[in-house]
């Protein structure tokens, strides 16, 4: 089976802003575009690559894509073609598709702005397309989904029209993979009917063909705005550190000559009174409640406990030392942002976070339905896979201030590892 990968990098990043296309920016010391291209160039199931770039970059491509007589031979030894993108994403993909070899059985398409796609996700998406004709990586919604109704002339035009079942809502990612004839038919429909689609799977759906859903990855984020860069940096540190560990396993001699790797554990604890008129925020998620935690910042006991655990593991004091309540800069601060700052701080000292485990002590309301959203929020701030974040809810059985419903508390344990 011959597989060609198309990397859609023809956009100019208008939503992102900045002087250069976002795909040329670096995360974790490597350009976003290079990370995305090399994920497919190094994959054993991929035979050839085509990269769609803005015309200016086609004329003067980055060094890692430099071509010789129109064909670039990257480190994997696989052929790589560069084509000009179009005004829209689907135009860029159509241009790249026209450059694919007729021998290509499967075409797998990936957004350059998703630099952390895993080899496993690539393999699973290709396999699903080979079996079913079309497949798209997607993650199931963890949040309650509201369908909006727009009211003309209303100064606040968005109101809820309906609440949708989140069990049936999936958020599409890339890669998306297709059998060659399926993709050709979909692209032809887009041109013939003038359809403006945000991805090729939508065109396949219009063609009346089934698209299989493949479980995506939480770390497979799309860098769209400036705010996404800080999350991407954290993810890059975590993934690159894991890669270094695997390299050491494959080559123990190199690990022996490098810096020693050590695991360090830290604990954290936080408690805040519950009062009326304040939101209850736990793990960056607002929990419906008549009362919220009182504090100088947003009083998020989950983030504060995790922050203290990470700082403790690195012997860097506690949250009060770095974000004192006497400093007006931290008034009503978002504790997810504070957690990101601490992750960056320990990274500068040579550590990455391995996993965290949190226990929330709260008499009411129950947090059961919000745990998944909290885990995803904390994982995103730390830059690790959500599978490495555990959050549990407990009551205090009516004992002390927490048991009487007067306070909320959290305990956390964090493991950090030398990068």
Residues 193 and 121 occupy one common structural domain:
yes
Q: Does residue 236 lie in a domain region?
A: no
**At 113, which CATH number?**
3.90.550.10
Q: Does residue 153 lie in a domain region?
A: no
Let me know if 249 is exposed, middle or buried by CB neighbors in 10 A (0-12, 13-18, 19+).
exposed
Q: Does residue 155 lie in a domain region?
A: no
Q: Taking the C-alpha atoms of 133, 138, 140 and 142 in order, what is their torsion angle to the nearest 10 degrees?
A: -170
Q: Does residue 157 lie in a domain region?
A: no
Residues 171 and 310 occupy one common structural domain:
no
Residues 201 and 264 occupy one common structural domain:
no
**At 315, which CATH number?**
3.30.1330.50
Residues 204 and 269 occupy one common structural domain:
no
Q: Does residue 247 lie in a domain region?
A: yes
Q: Does residue 121 lie in a domain region?
A: yes
Q: What is the pLDDT along the chain (419 residues), one digit of tens a residue?
A: 999 999 999 876 555 555 567 788 888 778 899 889 989 988 989 999 999 999 888 888 887 776 444 444 454 467 889 999 888 888 899 999 999 999 999 999 999 999 999 999 999 999 999 999 999 999 988 888 888 887 666 666 678 889 988 888 999 999 999 999 999 999 998 777 778 888 899 999 988 999 999 999 888 999 888 778 878 887 877 665 555 545 544 554 444 344 334 578 999 999 999 999 999 999 999 999 999 999 989 999 999 999 999 999 999 999 988 988 888 888 888 999 999 999 988 887 878 899 999 999 999 999 999 999 999 999 989 988 888 999 999 999 889 999 999 999 999 999 998 76
Q: Does residue 237 lie in a domain region?
A: no
Residues 27 and 89 occupy one common structural domain:
yes
Residues 187 and 302 occupy one common structural domain:
no
Q: What are the start-end ranges of the E strands in 225-330? A: 263-276, 280-282, 285-287, 291-293
Q: What is the pTM of this model?
A: 0.57
Q: Does residue 235 lie in a domain region?
A: no
Residues 66 and 185 occupy one common structural domain:
yes
Let me know if 245 is exposed, middle or buried by CB neighbors in 10 A (0-12, 13-18, 19+).
middle
Could you tell me which residues are beta bridge partners of residue 214? 137
Specify the number of domains making up the chain. Answer: 2
Residues 173 and 215 occupy one common structural domain:
yes
Residues 193 and 53 occupy one common structural domain:
yes
The residue segments making up the domain with residue 352 are 243-418
Which residues, 6 or more positions from 66, have their beta carbon under 8 angstroms from its beta carbon? 72
Residues 179 and 40 occupy one common structural domain:
yes
């Amino acid at each position: 089976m011959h597989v060609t990968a198309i990397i859609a990098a023809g956009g100019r990043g208008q939503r992102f802003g900045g002087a250069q296309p976002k795909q040329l920016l670096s995360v974790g010391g490597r350009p976003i575009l290079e990370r995305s291209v090399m994920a497919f160039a190094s994959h054993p199931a991929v035979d050839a690559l085509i990269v769609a770039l803005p015309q200016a970059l086609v004329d003067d491509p980055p060094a890692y894509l430099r071509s010789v007589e129109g064909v670039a031979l990257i480190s994997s030894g696989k052929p790589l073609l560069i084509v000009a993108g179009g005004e829209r994403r689907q135009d860029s993909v159509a241009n790249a598709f026209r450059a694919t070899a007729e021998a290509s059985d499967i075409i797998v398409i990936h957004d350059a702005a998703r630099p952390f796609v895993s080899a496993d996700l690539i393999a699973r998406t290709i396999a699903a397309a080979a079996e079913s004709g079309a497949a798209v990586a997607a993650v199931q919604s963890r949040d309650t989904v509201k369908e909006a109704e727009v009211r003309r002339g209303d100064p606040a035009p968005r109101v809820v029209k309906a609440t949708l079942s989140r069990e049936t809502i999936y958020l599409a990612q890339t890669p998306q993979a297709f059998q060659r004839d399926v993709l050709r038919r979909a692209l032809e429909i887009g041109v013939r009917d003038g359809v403006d689609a945000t991805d090729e799977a939508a065109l396949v759906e219009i063609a009346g063909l089934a698209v299989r859903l493949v479980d995506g990855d939480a770390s497979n984020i799309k860098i769209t705005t400036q705010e996404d860069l800080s999350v991407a940096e954290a993810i890059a540190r975590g993934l690159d550190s894991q890669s270094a560990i695997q390299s050491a396993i494959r080559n123990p001699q190199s690990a022996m000559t490098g810096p020693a790797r050590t695991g360090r554990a830290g604990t954290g604890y936080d408690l805040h009174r519950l009062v009326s008129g304040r939101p209850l925020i736990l793990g960056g998620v607002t929990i419906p409640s008549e009362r919220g935690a009182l504090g100088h910042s947003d009083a998020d006991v989950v983030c504060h406990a995790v922050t203290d655990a990470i700082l403790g593991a690195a012997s860097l004091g506690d949250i009060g030392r770095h974000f004192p309540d006497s400093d007006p800069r931290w008034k009503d601060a978002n504790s997810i942002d504070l957690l990101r700052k601490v992750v960056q701080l320990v990274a500068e000292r040579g550590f990455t976070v391995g996993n965290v485990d949190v226990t929330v002590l709260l008499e009411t309301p129950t947090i059961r339905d919000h745990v998944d959203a909290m885990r995803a929020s904390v994982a995103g701030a730390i830059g690790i896979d959500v599978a490495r974040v555990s959050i549990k809810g407990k009551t205090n059985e009516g004992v002390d201030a927490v048991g009487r419903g007067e306070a909320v508390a959290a305990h956390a344990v964090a493991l950090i590892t030398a990068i």
